[in-house]
Structure 1
Amino acid sequence: MNVLRHKKWDFTRINAVLQGILIGLIAGFIVSTFRLLISHGLKLVQWFFHLAKGNLWLLLIWVVFSVILTLLIGRWLKTTPEITGSGIPQVEGQLMGEVEYHWWPVLWKKFVGGVLAIGSGLFLGREGPSIQLGATVGQGFAESRKITGNKRRTLIASGASAGLSAAFNAPIASSLFILEEVYHNFSTMIWITALASAIAADFVSTFFFGLTPVLHITYVHPLPLTQYGWLVILGLLLGLFGRLYQVVVLRVGEWYHRIKWLPDQYNSLIAFLLLIPVGLFIPQILGGGNQLIVSIGGNAPTAMILLVVFIVRFVYSMISYGTGLPGGIFLPILTLGAVLGALFGQLLVSWHLASPAVVPIFTIAAMAGYFAGISKAPFTAILLITEMVGTLQHLMPLALVSLIAYLTVDVLGGAPVYAAMLEKFLQKSHTGQTVPVTQLEFPVFENAVLDGKQVRDVDWPDGALLVEIKRGEKIIVPHGDTEIRLGDTLLLSVPQKYLIHVRHVMMHLSGN
Structure 2
Amino acid sequence: MPPEARPGNGWAQARYVWLAVLVGTFAGILGSIFHLTIDALLHWPVLLAEVVGGPMLVVAAALVTMLATVASVYMVRRIAPEAGGSGVQEIEGAMEGLRPVRWARVLPVKFFAGAAAIGSGLVLGREGPTIHIGASIAAMFARIGGTVDLERRGLLAAGAAAGLACAFNAPVAAVLFIIEETHRQFPYTFRTYMGVIVAALLATAMTEMIGGTAPDLALISPEVPIGFLPLFAVLGCLLGAVGVLLNKSILTAVAFAAAAQQRAPYAYPAAVGLVVGGLFILMPHAVTGGETMIIELVRNQPGVMALLMLAILRFCTMVGSYSSGVPGGIFAPILALAVCIGLAFGTVADMMFPGMGAIPVAFAIAAMGGLFTASVRAPIVGVALTLELTGSYSLAMPLMATCVCANLSAQWMGGRPIYEQLLDRTLALAGVQPATRPKAHDTGLA
Q: Is the 8 A contact 2:350 2:358 kept in 1?
A: no
Alignment partner, residue 90 of structure 2: 90
**Amino acid aligned to 2:197:** L
Quote the Cα distance in structure 1 between the aligned partners of 2:172 and 2:311.
30
Say which SS state the counterpart of residue 259 (structure 1) adopts: helix
Check if 1:200 corresponds to 2:199.
no
Give the alignment's Cα RMSD to 1 decimal: 2.5
Alignment partner, residue 218 of structure 1: 220
Q: Which runs of 5+ in 1 are unaligned?
A: 1-7, 432-437, 444-467, 476-512
Instruction: Tell me whether 282-291 or 324-333 shows the greater mean CA deviation.
Output: 282-291
Q: Is the 8 A contact 1:142 1:155 kept in 2?
A: yes
Q: Is the 8 A contact 2:346 2:358 kept in 1?
A: no
1:168-221 Cα deviation digits (max 9, x unpaired): 0001110110221135334332221011001100001012221110010022x3
CA displacement at 1:265 relative to structure 2: 5.2
Quote the Cα distance in structure 1 between the aligned partners of 2:51 and 2:220.
33
Alignment partner, residue 4 of structure 2: none
Q: Is the 8 A contact 2:65 2:121 kept in 1?
A: no
**Amino acid aligned to 1:140:** M
Quote the Cα distance in structure 2 between the aligned partners of 1:35 and 1:64.
20
Within 5 Å, give how 1:354-365 maps onto structure 2. 358-365=359-366
Quote the Cα distance in structure 1 between the aligned partners of 2:30 and 2:300.
34
Change beyond 3 A, Cα 1:183–1:53: farther
CA displacement at 1:62 relative to structure 2: 4.6
In our comparison, the structure showing a higher alpha carbon Rg is 1
Check if 1:99 corresponds to 2:93.
no
Quote the Cα distance in structure 2 between the aligned partners of 1:315 and 1:58.
19
Alignment partner, residue 15 of structure 1: 15
Q: Is the 8 A contact 1:96 1:183 kept in 2?
A: no
**Amino acid aligned to 2:194:** I
Structure with higher strand content: 1
1:222-276 Cα deviation digits (max 9, x unpaired): 1111222211110110011111111111111122244368545553211110113
- The TM-score with structure 2 as length reference comes to 0.90
Alignment partner, residue 506 of structure 1: none
Say which SS state the counterpart of residue 441 (structure 2) adopts: strand
Q: Is the 8 A contact 2:65 2:274 kept in 1?
A: no
Q: Is the 8 A contact 1:71 1:266 kept in 2?
A: no
Say which SS state the counterpart of residue 267 (structure 1) adopts: helix
Check if 1:418 corresponds to 2:419.
yes
Change beyond 3 A, Cα 1:46–1:411: farther
CA displacement at 1:162 relative to structure 2: 0.6
1:20-72 Cα deviation digits (max 9, x unpaired): 11110101011001111111111223553687552427724752662365145
CA displacement at 1:309 relative to structure 2: 0.9
Check if 1:81 corresponds to 2:81.
yes
Identical residues among aligned pairs (%)? 30
Check if 1:227 corresponds to 2:228.
yes
Say which SS state the counterpart of residue 31 (structure 1) adopts: helix
CA displacement at 1:440 relative to structure 2: 7.1
Q: Is the 8 A contact 2:66 2:277 kept in 1?
A: no
Quote the Cα distance in structure 2 between the aligned partners of 1:335 and 1:270.
23
Q: Which runs of 5+ in 2 are unaligned?
A: 1-7
Check if 1:442 corresponds to 2:441.
yes
Check if 1:333 corresponds to 2:334.
yes
Structure with higher helix content: 2
Alignment partner, residue 145 of structure 1: 145
Alignment partner, residue 298 of structure 1: 299
Q: Is the 8 A contact 1:85 1:321 kept in 2?
A: yes
Quote the Cα distance in structure 2 between the aligned partners of 1:65 and 1:242.
27
Q: Is the 8 A contact 1:293 1:338 kept in 2?
A: yes
1:306-353 Cα deviation digits (max 9, x unpaired): 111101100110111111111111111111111111110011223344
Check if 1:158 corresponds to 2:167.
no
Quote the Cα distance in structure 2 between the aligned partners of 1:86 and 1:137.
16
Q: Is the 8 A contact 2:268 2:324 kept in 1?
A: yes
CA displacement at 1:373 relative to structure 2: 1.2
Alignment partner, residue 243 of structure 2: 242
Change beyond 3 A, Cα 1:105–1:229: same
Quote the Cα distance in structure 1 between the aligned partners of 2:72 and 2:24.
30
**Amino acid aligned to 1:229:** P
Change beyond 3 A, Cα 1:114–1:71: closer
1:432-482 Cα deviation digits (max 9, x unpaired): xxxxxx997536xxxxxxxxxxxxxxxxxxxxxxxx546xxxx5xxxxxxx
Quote the Cα distance in structure 1 between the aligned partners of 2:125 and 2:65.
21
Alignment partner, residue 109 of structure 2: 109
Quote the Cα distance in structure 2 between the aligned partners of 1:64 and 1:210.
31
Change beyond 3 A, Cα 1:188–1:50: farther
- The TM-score with structure 1 as length reference comes to 0.79
Quote the Cα distance in structure 1 between the aligned partners of 2:125 and 2:136.
18
Within 5 Å, give how 1:380-395 maps onto structure 2. 380-395=381-396
Change beyond 3 A, Cα 1:420–1:414: same
**Amino acid aligned to 2:423:** L
Change beyond 3 A, Cα 1:218–1:249: same
CA displacement at 1:428 relative to structure 2: 2.1
Instruction: Tell me whether 354-363 or 78-87 shows the greater mean CA deviation.
Output: 354-363
Quote the Cα distance in structure 1 between the aligned partners of 2:177 and 2:23.
18
Q: Is the 8 A contact 1:376 1:416 kept in 2?
A: yes
1:111-158 Cα deviation digits (max 9, x unpaired): 000000001000011111110000000001111222231111111111
Instruction: Tell me whether 376-385 or 147-156 shows the greater mean CA deviation.
Output: 147-156
**Amino acid aligned to 1:136:** S
Alignment partner, residue 181 of structure 1: 181
Quote the Cα distance in structure 2 between the aligned partners of 1:277 and 1:57.
9
Say which SS state the counterpart of residue 415 (structure 1) adopts: coil
Change beyond 3 A, Cα 1:300–1:99: same
Q: Is the 8 A contact 1:45 1:120 kept in 2?
A: no
**Amino acid aligned to 1:247:** K
Quote the Cα distance in structure 1 between the aligned partners of 2:357 and 2:273.
37
Change beyond 3 A, Cα 1:110–1:469: closer
**Amino acid aligned to 1:188:** F
Quote the Cα distance in structure 1 between the aligned partners of 2:245 and 2:385.
23
Q: Is the 8 A contact 2:233 2:401 kept in 1?
A: yes
Quote the Cα distance in structure 2 between the aligned partners of 1:216 and 1:289.
14
Quote the Cα distance in structure 2 between the aligned partners of 1:238 and 1:230.
12
CA displacement at 1:17 relative to structure 2: 2.3
Quote the Cα distance in structure 2 between the aligned partners of 1:188 and 1:439.
23
CA displacement at 1:84 relative to structure 2: 1.0
